[in-house]
Amino acid sequence: LIMDQTPHIVILPTPGMGHLIPLAELATRLVLRHGFTATFITYAESASKAQTAYLASLPPSVASLSLPPVDLADLSPTACIETRICVTAARSVPALARLLRDLKDGRHVVAFVADLFGGDSLVAAREVGVPAYVFFPSNLLTLSVILHLPALDAAVSCEFRDLPEPLKLPGCVPIPGSELISPIQDRKDDAYRWVVNLARKYREAEGILVNTFDEIEPEASEVLKKVQAGRPPVYTVGPLIHTGGASSTDASGCLSWLDKQPRSSVLFVSFGSGGTLSTEQTRELALGLECSGQRFIWVVRSPSDQKADANFFNAQSATDSFEFLPEGFTERTRDVGLVVSSWAPQIEILKHESTGGFLTHCGWNSTLESVVYGVPMIAWPLYAEQKQNAVMLVEGTKIALRAKAGADGVVRKDAISRTVKELMEGEEGKAVRHKVKELQAAGAKALAEDGKSSKALAEIANKWKGML
């Protein structure tokens, strides 16, 4: 039997397109620039149409396999997404080890890369003698919070939201306890234990690759890139965003509509693949946009009054009709606004010269996409690490404005209208626009042939190749 000598990496993305997309970019770079082949192993639970199509569009030297489904019947129906994903990862270890062993039979598997919630799967790689790495699809701030959790868990006795002072981690902007990542907001919930456990598992990785770049978090990058005993080396390899074409058709008509609008005049409003607003908040947002008088494209999903992440596994709206919008809204805003259901070609919209602002839930992929195309933001975080991202973008990086919520948690139409006008026409808007353009240039430089992020990835690739 002649063994294929090409270095091969095996990648396990957490369910959710926001995890698959940057990992696919990582794989594509390793394939095209460093001569690797790759296999994606996916969870049966995440086999959405979007994911299958996405995997099929990757270069031919990127293959994919699926793990068998995991039984989660014993979990409470109210268990958080983070718990579901971590339990799935832990229960998939034996099947994953089998798949890795099979792959090793015919190929030179040089590394295994799991992402964010894959902490528990690293052990499967070690079992079969493959070096295990973590790819962290969010930023250094979130990585810092996770890495510090075991110590915080021991030192803090109250709920984090009751901390009297914002949490100040080395190199990071201070974060009020209530804005820290959502799965640690209730320390009695299983999700909290799972995330503390992740921090311990990360320590066992050979390295952590982070989808960020130094200039967007300069101080954190200085701190985390220093070698430190008890913590794997950290590499910043971003901003990796979806670059392949052909994924988006203009079925929603967004692009042809944008073609007819003035330069930098349109605010793009979207809450990522899973974000959903309450009925009341949806109304206020509609009225705020209308009142601002600015042009907009709004990706609207049916409201959900229970959970802000109601659409995490399926971006489709419950209904395509917009009967929940204020009466007459669509007619009154017909000349300035476009409302689309569920999903829009976000990258093409951000790239378009008519787009001048992005009201975003601050998912890290969306944030990086906005930076790569130089679009200033309004931060409207909902769940996961979005609230602390918002604090960083508004107070640290200064590339976003934020509309304040009232005591009841609802952002009212006046605050929305004011912030939208400020971003599109005001002085503060000008300042964040200027800063985001600077970061756009820095991000492009980091990913150029001899840029810092490309060099970091080359270093890792060479290390992996040396293991042949």
Among all residues, which ones are annotated catalytic?
19, 115
Instruction: Answer whether 137's CB lies under 8 Å from 23's CB.
Output: yes
Among residues 7, 13, 15, 16, the one that binds ligand UDP under rule CB under 6 A: 16
The two three-digit tokens of residue 392, written as one number: 């960083």
Question: Considering only 11-19, 35-43, 173-181, 330-338, which stretch makes contact with ligand UDP by CB under 6 A?
Answer: 11-19
The H or E element that residue 235 is part of is strand 234-236
d(CA 328, CA 2): 69
- Residue count at the site for ligand UDP (CB under 6 A)? 19
Residue 232 touches ligand UDP, criterion: CB under 6 A: no
User: Which CB sits closer to ligand UDP, 21 or 286?
Assistant: 21
Q: Which residue has the tokens 């399926």?
A: 314
- Side-chain-side CA neighbours of residue 53 (13 Å): 9
Write the interaction track for ligand UDP spanning residues 107-146; mark x where CB under 6 A is met and - where it is not.
----------------------------------------
CB of 95 to ligand UDP, least distance (A): 25
Residue 344 touches ligand UDP, criterion: CB under 6 A: yes
d(CA 400, CA 80): 29
d(CA 453, CA 455): 5
Residue 453 touches ligand UDP, criterion: CB under 6 A: no
Q: DSSP letter for 167, please.
A: B
Residue 313 touches ligand UDP, criterion: CB under 6 A: no
Residue 51 touches ligand UDP, criterion: CB under 6 A: no
Question: Considering only 16-24, 95-103, 213-221, 351-359, which stretch makes contact with ligand UDP by CB under 6 A?
Answer: 16-24
d(CA 92, CA 86): 10
The two three-digit tokens of residue 358, written as one number: 């992005």
Residue 273 touches ligand UDP, criterion: CB under 6 A: yes
In DSSP terms, 234 is beta-bridged to 208
Residue 298, SS3?
A: strand
CB of 182 to ligand UDP, least distance (A): 12
Residue 220 touches ligand UDP, criterion: CB under 6 A: no
Write the interaction track for ligand UDP spanning residues 360-399; mark x where CB under 6 A is met and - where it is not.
---xxxx--x------------------------------
d(CA 355, CA 348): 10
Give CA 106 to chain center in angstroms: 33
Letter for the amino acid at 332? R
Residue 274 touches ligand UDP, criterion: CB under 6 A: yes
Residue 270 touches ligand UDP, criterion: CB under 6 A: yes
Q: What is the contact surface with ligand UDP in residues (CB under 6 A)?
A: 16-18, 21, 242, 270, 272-274, 299, 343-344, 346-347, 363-366, 369
